Structures are given as structure tokens and as C-alpha cells.
Amino acid sequence: MAHPKPKKIAAISMVRNDNFFVHKWIDYYGENLGYKNLYLIIDGYDQPLPEKHKHINIIRKEHIPMKRSRGDRYRARLVSGIAKGLFDDFDIVIAHDIDEYLVVDPDCGQSLAGYLQKPISTSSLSALGLDVGQHTEKEGPIDLSKPFLQQRSFAHVSARYTKAIVATRPITWGSGYHRVKGKNFTIDPTLYLFHFGMVDINMCKQKIEKSELNKSGWSGHFNRRFQLFSLIEKQKAIPGDEFFAKARKRQSLYRPFFALNKPGMLREKPIIQIPERFKNII
């Protein structure tokens, strides 16, 4: 009996004015999926190409200055369109922001690519969102030469990052990949999405000072996001494994009435301690 061909998996993201995450993004997804299966959209011809650009697929687009909300919608439409074309050659397309890393639980004993070989009946899969932040009283500046999770131990379990980023057929993502238009979501029991946008407070401060971002409406967003640092400092952390299953269930059941295809936020804003088994992954 012939064995089915392994699924081909692509990853796609978009980047502008970043020299902090892009190298780790290329290495992480390149090692997990194969460098030739990565598609990176460079937003602007004024942007330098990343060091390993020859190993991956680069798509250059002219930069169009936009306000934050309009820019989010534009990126989602752009990536959805490119992903649609990728399905001519791939079985799965993973789309996400440059500071987001899809991880399979090490306890399952499989690689990310190996785990996604399983039968998937839905048009997308969501990963439980973990918004990782620096505990400024206990953790120092990030060292980019070492895995992030060796240096960061706490995360906010956030529905904003429980995103349907694993697509098994052409779909249309909403702004920020927070939902799929016209589709429900399914939170996978073994996948996690680690968001590292607030992994280092000094990096965040430097980013917010950039005039381009402030002019396009990002300052209010960053001010809200900075609350993560105080949340991590003030709240007692729950061991992650005691909360993950509850979080998936509650995010699936309690949805915002204005967007039933989005997972519901957890009102207590839970902070978890990241289990040790994840420490060497990213």
C-alpha cells in the first residue's frame, strides 16, 4: 500500500523596520519547515534585505504609508492573496506576524512539521496565544544570541494571540490574523503561538520612539501594550500546565458577541509560568 506524500508546509510573514525578530524568524521556521518554504514580504524598497535572504523567498512591495488600522487590513488582504497562490504548491500555509512563533508541545514528541501531517478536517487551526513579556524586576535585557525562552519565564494567556494562523485551504484573514472571515476557529490542543512583541522593554521603548510608527497611529497601541510589564510584575503566576486546557475551553465557549468567530478574552488576565520543556525551543 502506497504511503501518502508528506504535506508541504509554507510560512509567510511581512516585515518593515525590523532587525530584532527577522533573523530568528528565518532560522526558526527555516529549521522547522525548510528555508525554501519561507516567504517573506519586505514592506518597502528602502528596506535592507535580511542576512539569509538568499535562502528563502523574498517578495518586495512598495511601502504605502497608512494609519495602523488600515495598514493591518491591507497586510491581511495582501497575505491572504499571496497564500491563496501558495496552495498551488503547498498543503498548509502558516501566516503570522514577524514576532510570532508557532510551537508544538514538546511532550507530543513530534516536530512542528511532523505534527501537522495529521489529518485536519477544518480550514484552519488556531494555537493557544501566549504573550511573552519581560519581568523587569527579575529578568535582564534579552540576549539575541540565546533562545528567548531561556531568558523569559512569564506570559499572559491572551485570546488576541490565539490566532487561526494555520490554513489548510485558501482563506481570508481579518486584521492581524485574529480571525478568518466567514469561518469558525478550532483551537488545537497541542499548538501554542508565542508572541514576543514585548519580550524586551528597552527594545519596545526604542520602537515606540520611531516617528514613522507614531505618525501612523501606533503610539496608543504601544501605550496599551506596555501594561503587560506591570501585569507580569504584579500578578501571581499560575503554572502553565494547570491552566492551558481551561484557557482553550473558555476561549472557545465565551466569545465576543460582535465577533463570534474570535476567541473570548479571559477577564482575569491570567499570567502563567512557561513550563520548562519549552525553554530551548525559541
What predicted TM-score, i.e. pTM, was given to this entire model? 0.94
SS3 state of residue 258: coil
Single-letter code of the amino acid located at 242 = E
* Rg from Cα positions in the chain: 18
Tell me the C-alpha distance between 157 and 265, whole Å.
9
Tell me the C-alpha distance between 171 and 274, whole Å.
32
Q: Tell me which residue of 74, 268, 254, 69 sits closest to 156, measured CA to CA.
A: 268
Neighbours of 233 (CB within 10 A): 15
Where along the chain do its domains lie?
Answer: 9-278
pLDDT computed for residue 258 by the predictor = 76
pLDDT computed for residue 214 by the predictor = 58
Contact 139, 152 (CB under 8 A): yes
Q: Tell me which residue of 169, 162, 182, 184 sits closest to 83, measured CA to CA.
A: 169
Distances (CA, A) of 109 to 249, 269, 279: 23, 30, 15
Rounded (10°) CA dihedral 59, 169, 259, 67: 10
DSSP code per residue over 134-181: --TTT-----TTS-GGGT--EEEE-GGG----EESS---B-GGGS-BT
Contact 191, 163 (CB under 8 A): no
Q: Tell me which residue of 137, 168, 15, 136 sits closest to 78, measured CA to CA.
A: 15
Distances (CA, A) of 167 to 14, 33, 101: 17, 15, 15
pLDDT, tens digit, for every residue of 79-96? 999 999 999 999 999 999
- Non-local (6+) Cβ contacts of 244 within 8 A are 128, 157, 272
Q: Tell me which residue of 222, 180, 200 sits closest to 80, measured CA to CA.
A: 180
pLDDT, tens digit, for every residue of 129-154? 999 999 999 999 999 999 999 999 99
SS3 state of residue 135: coil
Tell me the C-alpha distance between 205 and 96, whole Å.
23
Q: Which residues pair with 42 in a beta bridge?
A: 15, 60
Q: Tell me which residue of 66, 91, 55 sits closest to 16, measured CA to CA.
A: 66
Give the residue ranges of the chain where pLDDT is below 50. Answer: none
